[in-house]
Amino acid sequence: MQQIKNITFNNSSDDPSTTPRTITVTVTDGGNYSNVATTTVNVVAVNDAPVATGSAITGTEDTSLKLTWANFGVSDVDSPQASLGVKITELPVAGKLQYLAADGTTWTNVTAGQTFTKAQIDGGQLRFTPNANESGADGYGGTGVGNKQADYAQFKFQPTDGKDLGTSTTVKVDITPVADAPTLSVADNNIASVGLTKQSWNSIANLGTNGNGASPTVLKNAIDKAGTPNSTTIATDVASTADVPGGAGSKTSGLIYLEAGKTYTFSGYGDDSILINVGGKDVASGTWGSNSGQFSGTYTPTSNGYYSIDIYHANQAGAGSYDVNLSVNGGATTNLSNTNIPIYTGVNDLINAGAQVSDLHGTNGQGYYDAYKLNEGLENGTVKLSKVTTGLTDTDGSETLSVKIGSIPVGAVLSDGAGHTFTATNGQTEVDVTGWNLNNLSLKPLPYTSGQYNLTVTSTSTESLGGSAQTVAQLPVKVYPATYSGTTATSGDDNVAGTSGNDIIVADVSGLNVVQGKNYNIAFMIDTSGSMGSDSVAAAKASLTTVFNSLKDSIGSSTSGTVNIFLADFSDQVNRTVTVNLKDPGALDALQKVLDKMVSTGGTNYEDVFKAASNFFKSGLATGNTGAINTTYFITDGEPTFYQRAEQTNPTLYGNVKLDDVVNMNNYTLGTATRINIESNISLEINSVGKVTLWYYGTAYDRGTIHAQGDGTYETSVRDGYGNYTDTATTTNSQNAFALLKGLSTGGVEAIGLKSGVGLEQLAPYDSDNKPQANIDPKDLANAILGSSEATLPGADRVDGGDGNDILFGDLVSFPGVTGEGYNAIQSYVAGKNGVAVSAVTGQDVHKYITEHYNEFNTSGAKDGNDTLLGGSGDDILFGQGGNDYLDGGKGNDILLGGTGNDTLIGGQGNDILIGGTGADTFIWRSGDVGNDVIKDFKASEGDRIDLRDLLKGETDSTIDNFLKLTTVDNVTTLQISSEGKLNAAGGLANADVTIKLEGNNWSGQTINSLISGADPTIKVDHT
C-alpha cells in the first residue's frame, strides 16, 4: 500500500502537452494480479522565458553593421519564433545602435528599454554604426572596450517571447580598422593681380592754372616733388572715381607684367594733364589743351618681365578726371585693371607670392624685373616649389602618415632648406619626405637641362593593424631654357656689359674674331709676287685654308650672322678674285679653287688690289649685309712696285654706250674671262688679264685694260712702275688707294708682312691703326690672322656680367694646337675635347665644359692687362688671368681665379671658391657677404691677405674673439666668423654667418690675435 502511495508523475518537457494523461495501476502478490485501477493526470502548462547566448560580431571602420537574429543567439522551447524579440537594456558607449524608423528611410538612435522583434531584425531594421574613424579589435591587445581597444563596443539585451524576459546577455562588437585616404593639396602658383599703388595730393605746386594742362616734364617734376601724399590707396582700375579738384593730382604706380614682342597700346584721356611711363620710358601723354586730353601710345618689350609703370595725373582748374585703357596687339580695348592684366603694387607682391625675383634691369626704380613663379625657374637655377599640405582624415591616432615625392628627373636635387636633400639617380627617383619641411621645398634640376614635367606627390595613411590608403597629386615643374652667348672684345681697354643670360666673355683678342649673330664682310688680299717663292705661296695657301675652315666652323649655328668673304690674288695686278657667302654649301670649294691657282710670279701692285677690295665693300652683296662689319686683311711680302695710271672713269665704248652701261659687279669678276652681248652684232670681250675688246659688227676694237675703280664700278688704266723697287709715284698711288679702302673698312685693315722683305715701318701706312704684323712665317699666317697672344698687348678691361651664370676672361684666350683665340678658340677647343665638329658645339656646350673643367682655362700671359671683372647675379666663373686684377663675384655661388699678379678677389654673397694664383692676393669680404667660402691656395708667405674690415661690425682687439675663431679638421683650418660678434653667445659656432675654409693651411698652432697683429697682418680687421 505504501508503495502505491510513493508513485509520482513528473513532466520533463518545458513545453508539455496539455492533453490529460491516464495512468493504469495493477497490483500483484507475486502470483496473481489484482484488478486494474485507473486514474487521470492533468498537466497545467507553464510559460518558460526565452534564453540568449549573445555573440561577438565584427564590422569595419566607418561602415554601419546590420545586425542579424543570429547575432543575438535567442531561443525559446515553448514559444514560436515569430513571437520572439530582444529588449535593449544597455546601450554601447562607443558607436550608435540604430533602428529604421517607420518611414523606411530614417535611422534613429535606439534608447534603452526599446524592444525589437525578430521580424524587424530579420528585416535589417537594426544596425550598429561606429563613430567616424574609430575601431577596436583583438589586434590592439588588452581587455578594454572602446576605440583602439580589444573590443570596440558592447551592448546588453534581454530576450523576450512576448510574455516573459530572459536573462540579460551581451553582444560584443569588434570594428576592424580601415585606412582612410589622407588629404593632400599642392598650392597653386598664381601671383594674384592686386592693383597699383595710388598716391593722391590735394594741392600740387608749379602745375599752372590755365586749364590747358601741363607738359609731361612739368607734370612729372611737380608730382615727384609734391612730398608726402594726402592719401595712399590701391587702385584696381586706373581711372578717377570722383572729380579731381583744381590743383590736385595723383601718381598711380607699381608693376605690370608684359610679354616680349607684344605691342601694348595705352590710351584714354586725362583732364587736364596725364603721363604714362612704362619701364622708364614715356609712352603716352595728353593735355586738355591738345585734343581734349585724349592720348594713345605703344610699348613693345623685348623681354618678358614685370615692368615699372607710373601714371601721373593732375588737374589745373575746374573738375578733372582721367581714364586709362589698354589693348594688346591691336585687340579689344579694356580698362587698365587688375582683372584684365596682371598689375602689382610693387616687387614685394611677387616676393610674398613665392616668386624668385631678379635685380632691377634699370635704374631709379624704373625698368623691369625677371621673376619666376613657384614651380618655375631658369635652367641651371633652383625652382622653389609650391607648398604641399597633407593630413590624416582619421585623427584618432590609429593611423600614421607618410609622404613621398617621385618622378624626380635623374640628377635633380630636392631639398627643404632644413638639412634634408635627395639626388635622383637611375632607378631611384622617389624619396620619402616624411618629416621634411613641405612648406619650403625646392628642386635644383640637373644643370643644363630644361623642360616641363610633373613630380608625383603620394601621401599614404597606414593603420596600425594593417592596411593603407593613398592620395596622389601632381606638382608641375617648368624649367625655362637659358640663353648663352659668346663675346670677344677688342685688344684695347674695353668696357663690356653682359646680357641677362649666360655670357661667355673674353675681354681681349688680337686676331680675327667672328661673333655669332653679327654680320661681316671680310676681304683677304694675298700677295703672290715672285719674291714670295713657291714654298711660301704654298704655306700661305695652307694657312688661308685653315682660316676659311675656322670661319666656316665658327658660323655653323643657324643663329649666326652672314659672313661674306672676298679673296684676291695679286702680284703685278689683281690676278683673280672670288666672293662667297660662307653659309653657301659650295663656299669653301669656291675659295679653294682660287687658292689652288695661286702661283708666285711678277711684282707687287698695292693700288690695284686696294681698289678691288673697295669694290667688294661697295657691292650689293656687301652693302646688303645689314649692319655688317667690314674687315680687311692685307698680306704681302714686300713694298709696292707697280701702280696704275691713265685711269679712264667710265670710258665710252661706242656711240653713247659707256663702260658702266655694260659692265658691272654682277656680270664681271676680276681675273675671269667674260663675253657680254650688247646688241645682236655688238659684244664686249674681257680676257683673264682684263684686256677689253669691243666686237662691233665683226671688227675688234681695243678698249684698254679693265681694273676696279674702288667705288663699285670699273675703269680702264695702264700699269706703271719699275716692278722691282718702289718710287714716289708708286707710294703715292698706293696710299691714295689705301685711304679709299680704309674708309670702307669699318672693322679696320690689318697689314701682315710675310718673311723679312717688308718691315713694320713700311707696312704701318697700310694698317688702319698703324700696328701691322711683320716677319711672319707664311706657315704661321693663320695664327697671325686668327690671333696670337703675342701679337697685341691685352688691354685693361672692365667686364660686367650682369644677370645670369657668366664666365668672364680678363685677357686673351688661346690653346696649343688650336687656331685662333677668343671665344672661337674656346669653341674649337671644346669641340676637340667632346670629339665633335666645331659647328656642332653650342654656347651651352661651351658653358658646360668650362664650368666642369674650369682649371683647364686658368691661363695667364706675361703681357696681360689689369682687369676688372664683375660677376653680378648668378653663379659666375671669373678668370683674372695675368695682371693685377679686381674680381667681384657678386651674388651667387661663384668661382674666382686670379691667375698671376697681385689680385683682389671678392666672392660676394653665396658659397664661393676663391683661387688667388701666384702673387700677393687680397681676399675681401664686405658687409653682407655671408656664406661658406673656400680659399684653395692661400699663401701668406706670398703676401696673400684676408680683409674683413668691412664685414665685421664693431670689432676691437679686446673683443675679436667674439667675431673670429679657428677650427682645424684633418689638418685644414676654417675661419669661423660672426659678422655681429656672437661666437661666444648661446649657440657658439652655430652663430657664424661666414666660414672660410683655407685648404692647404693648418693654423692650429696660431691664435686669432697673432693673425691680426702687425703692420701687415694676415687677417685685416679694425682694431678700435
Q: Which CATH class is domain 376-480?
A: mainly beta
| Closest listed residue to residue 408, CA positions, set 473, 454, 471 | 454
Contacts of 805 (CB under 8 A, 6+ apart): 380, 482, 502, 847, 851, 874, 875, 876, 892
* Rounded distance between C-alpha atoms, residue 830 and residue 854, angstroms: 12
Cβ neighbours, 10 Å, residue 122: 13
Buried b (16+ CB within 10 A) or exposed e, 75-106: ebebbeeeebbbbbbebbebbbbbbbeeeeee
Peptide bond connecting 272 to the previous residue in cis, omega within 30 degrees of 0: yes
Is 376-480's fold the same as 512-642+721-786's? no
pLDDT tens-place string over residues 315-334? 999 999 999 999 999 999 99
* Rounded distance between C-alpha atoms, residue 301 and residue 379, angstroms: 22
Residue 791 has a pLDDT of 44
> pLDDT > 90: what percent of the chain?
84
Highest mean pLDDT out of 210-214, 481-485, 846-850:
846-850
Residue 11: pLDDT band by 50, 70, 90 thresholds?
A: low
Residue 817: pLDDT band by 50, 70, 90 thresholds?
A: confident
Residue 556 has a pLDDT of 58
What would the grid cell of residue 854 be?
A: 674650369
* DSSP symbol at 892: S
Cβ neighbours, 10 Å, residue 580: 20
Handedness of CA 833, 834, 835, 836 (dihedral sign): negative
Residue 790: pLDDT band by 50, 70, 90 thresholds?
A: very low
Q: What does the H/E/C string look like for 251-277? A: EEEEEEEECCCCCEEEEEEEECEEEEE
Radius of gyration of the chain (CA): 49
pLDDT of 335 strictly over 50: yes
3-state secondary structure of 7: coil
* Rounded distance between C-alpha atoms, residue 489 and residue 504, angstroms: 11
One-letter amino acid of 289: G
905, 945 Cβ separation under 8 angstroms: no
Lowest mean pLDDT among 28-32, 990-994, 1016-1020: 28-32
* Rounded distance between C-alpha atoms, residue 761 and residue 772, angstroms: 9
919, 885 Cβ separation under 8 angstroms: no
Cβ neighbours, 10 Å, residue 432: 14
pLDDT of 91 strictly over 50: yes
Residue 589: pLDDT band by 50, 70, 90 thresholds?
A: very high
N-term to C-term CA, the chain: 138
pLDDT tens-place string over residues 928-937? 999 999 999 9
Architecture of the structural domain at 512-642+721-786: 3-Layer(aba) Sandwich (3.40)
pLDDT of 286 strictly over 90: yes
* Rounded distance between C-alpha atoms, residue 117 and residue 456, angstroms: 54
Q: Give kind and range of the element (H or E) at residue 309.
A: strand 305-314
Task: Give the residue-averaged pLDDT of 254-272.
Answer: 97
What would the grid cell of residue 778 be?
A: 707664311
pLDDT tens-place string over residues 642-685? 999 999 999 999 999 999 999 999 999 999 999 999 999 999 99
CA distances from 602 to 531, 572, 640, 722, 738 (A): 8, 5, 11, 11, 21
Highest mean pLDDT out of 17-26, 548-557, 815-824, 923-932:
923-932
Architecture of the structural domain at 207-255+262-342+355-371: Sandwich (2.60)
Residue 789: pLDDT band by 50, 70, 90 thresholds?
A: very low
pLDDT of 792 strictly over 60: no
Residue 33: pLDDT band by 50, 70, 90 thresholds?
A: confident
In CATH terms, is domain 51-178 a member of 3.30.70.1560?
A: no
Backbone angles phi, psi at 859, to 5 degrees: -115, 155
Higher pLDDT, 821 or 484: 484
> pLDDT > 70: what percent of the chain?
96
Q: Which residues pair with 463 in a beta bridge?
A: 399
Question: Over the chain, what is the mean pLDDT?
Answer: 93
Contacts of 214 (CB under 8 A, 6+ apart): 207, 208, 222, 273, 287, 314, 316
* DSSP symbol at 42: P
Residue 557 has a pLDDT of 53
Sequence ranges of the domains in the chain: 2-41, 51-178, 207-255+262-342+355-371, 376-480, 512-642+721-786, 643-720, 798-1020
Residue 300 has a pLDDT of 98
695, 684 Cβ separation under 8 angstroms: yes
Residue 953 has a pLDDT of 93
pLDDT tens-place string over residues 397-421? 889 999 999 999 999 999 999 999 9
371, 357 Cβ separation under 8 angstroms: yes
366-369 vs 442-444, strand pairing mode: unpaired
Contacts of 731 (CB under 8 A, 6+ apart): 640
pLDDT of 42 strictly over 80: no
CA 847 to chain centre: 15
| DSSP structure string for 207-220 | S-SSSS---HHHHH
Residue 560 has a pLDDT of 66
pLDDT of 14 strictly over 70: no
CA distances from 966 to 746, 914, 943, 997 (A): 59, 19, 20, 10
463, 392 Cβ separation under 8 angstroms: no
Q: Give kind and range of the element (H or E) at residue 127.
A: strand 126-129
Task: Give the residue-averaged pLDDT of 556-580.
Answer: 87
pLDDT of 512 strictly over 80: no
pLDDT of 158 strictly over 80: yes
pLDDT of 473 strictly over 60: yes
Handedness of CA 69, 70, 74, 77 (dihedral sign): positive
877-879 vs 895-897, strand pairing mode: parallel
